Amino acid sequence: MEQYNQDFKRVDNNLLVATHLCQLLTYISGFGGLVVPLILWYTQKDKVASMDIQGKQIVNFQLSIIVYYILSIPLILFFGLGLFVLFVVGTLGLILPIVNAVKVSNHQQPVYFMNITFIK
């Protein structure tokens, strides 16, 4: 039996966990880490509880990662600082979706730091 919250939205932690883990598609296929969560957020934000908030966080995180990657390219010329930034951003892009998927499965709030707010 499906559960609903006070706004009559379906409570679906499995879909929220899958949305967080879809970000890892970038590491598997080279793309999809932004597109799939964007589609899931856009189609399910009015139907699933917490999808609107968490979907925005995920999309903002993925867009922030892209910006950090682009900014690190010119930093490579300055003492290899861009290589360090690429390593840190790549590591955070791999670890944070997994940590936040576990948090969501345990009914805790996910935290994405270093987010640039593109979508409010």
In 3D space, the residue among 99, 48, 120, 90 whose CA is nearest the CA of residue 111 turns out to be 99
Predicted pLDDT of residue 2: 61
* Distance in angstroms (rounded) separating the CA atoms of residues 92 and 78: 22
Q: Is the pLDDT of residue 36 over 80?
A: yes
pLDDT for 49-99, tens place per residue? 899 999 999 999 999 999 999 999 998 887 788 899 999 999 999 999 999
| Residue 59, both tokens | 């999309």
| Residue 115, both tokens | 């987010």
Position 109 confidence tier, pLDDT thresholds 50, 70, 90: very high
pTM of the model: 0.88
* Distance in angstroms (rounded) separating the CA atoms of residues 117 and 44: 20
Residue 34: DSSP 8-state: T
The domain spans of the chain are 13-105
